[in-house]
Amino acid sequence: MERSLHLPRADGAIAAFTPVNEPLIAPVKPAGGHHFNRVAYAAAHVVVDALADNDPWLDRNIDWERTIAFREYLWGLGLGVAEAMDTAQRGMGLDWSGAKELIAHAQSAARGRSDAVIAYGAGTDHLQPGADVTIDDVIRAYEEQIAYVEGQGGRVILMASRALAAAAKSPDDYIRVYDRILGQVKEPVIIHWLGSMFDPALAGYWGSADDMRAMETATAIINQNAAKVDGVKISLLSAEKEIVMRRRLDPSVKMYTGDDFNYAELIAGDDQGYSHALLGIFDAVAPAASAALAKLAQNDLDAFHEILAPTVPLSRHIFKAPTRFYKTGVVFLAYLNGFQDHFQMLGGQQSARSIQHLSELFRLADAARVLRDPDLATYRMKTILATVGIE
Residue 76: what pLDDT?
Answer: 95
Distance, in Å, from the CA atom of 56 to the CA atom of 62, rounded to the nearest integer, reads 11
Per-residue confidence band for 31, with pLDDT thresholds at 50, 70 and 90: confident
Mean pLDDT of 123-139: 97
* Among 256, 92, 213, 87, CA closest to 162: 92
Which carries the bigger pLDDT value, residue 252 or residue 1?
Answer: 252
Mean pLDDT of 100-113: 97
* Among 177, 179, 172, 150, CA closest to 161: 177
Q: Give the phi and the psi of residue 354 in degrees, each rounded to 5.
A: -80, 165
Residue 33: what pLDDT?
Answer: 84
User: So where are the chain's domains?
Assistant: 35-348
Distance, in Å, from the CA atom of 288 to the CA atom of 276, rounded to the nearest integer, reads 16
Cβ–Cβ < 8 Å for 361, 335: no
% of the chain at pLDDT higher than 90: 93
Mean pLDDT of 28-54: 92
Amino acid (one-letter) located at 323: T
Mean pLDDT of 232-255: 97
Q: pLDDT by residue (tens digit) across 173-188?
A: 999 999 999 999 999 9
Q: Note the helical H segments in 89-134.
A: 96-111
Q: Is the pLDDT of residue 391 over 90?
A: no
Cβ–Cβ < 8 Å for 284, 370: yes
Mean pLDDT of 50-65: 90
Residue 82: what pLDDT?
Answer: 98
Residue 25: what pLDDT?
Answer: 85
% of the chain at pLDDT higher than 70: 100
What would you report as the CA-atom Rg of the chain, rounded to the nearest whole angstrom?
A: 20
Residues 6+ apart with CB under 8 A from 287: 23, 24, 25, 26, 27, 77, 370, 372
Distance, in Å, from the CA atom of 365 to the CA atom of 362, rounded to the nearest integer, reads 5
Q: pLDDT by residue (tens digit) across 74-84?
A: 999 999 999 99
Distance, in Å, from the CA atom of 71 to the CA atom of 203, rounded to the nearest integer, reads 31
Residues 6+ apart with CB under 8 A from 40: 78, 79, 80, 276, 277, 278, 279, 282, 289, 293
Q: Is the pLDDT of residue 124 over 90?
A: yes
Mean pLDDT of 320-337: 98
Distance, in Å, from the CA atom of 288 to the CA atom of 285, rounded to the nearest integer, reads 6
The residue count for the chain: 391
Residue 357: what pLDDT?
Answer: 97
- Residue 19: asked if its preceding bond is cis (omega within 30°), the reply is no
Cβ neighbour number for residue 18 with a 10 Å cutoff: 11
Pairing state between β 229-235 and 276-279: unpaired
* Among 191, 32, 173, CA closest to 122: 191
Q: pLDDT by residue (tens digit) across 244-292?
A: 999 999 999 999 999 999 999 999 999 999 999 999 999 999 999 999 9
Distances from the Cα of 244 to the Cαs of 138, 216, 255, 317, in angstroms? 29, 11, 11, 25
Distance, in Å, from the CA atom of 356 to the CA atom of 136, rounded to the nearest integer, reads 46
Per-residue confidence band for 194, with pLDDT thresholds at 50, 70 and 90: very high
Which CATH code is given to the segment(s) 35-348?
A: 3.20.20.70
Q: Is the pLDDT of residue 1 over 70?
A: no
Cβ–Cβ < 8 Å for 5, 17: yes
Cβ neighbour number for residue 59 with a 10 Å cutoff: 12
Residue 29: what pLDDT?
Answer: 80
Q: Is the pLDDT of residue 348 over 80?
A: yes
Across 167-198, b (16+ Cβ under 10 Å) vs e yields bbeebebbbbbbeebbeebeebbbbbbbbbbb
Per-residue confidence band for 56, with pLDDT thresholds at 50, 70 and 90: confident
Task: Return the beta strands (E) in the chain as ranges.
Answer: 5-8, 14-17, 40-43, 80-83, 118-122, 156-158, 189-194, 229-235, 254-257, 276-279
Mean pLDDT of 337-344: 98
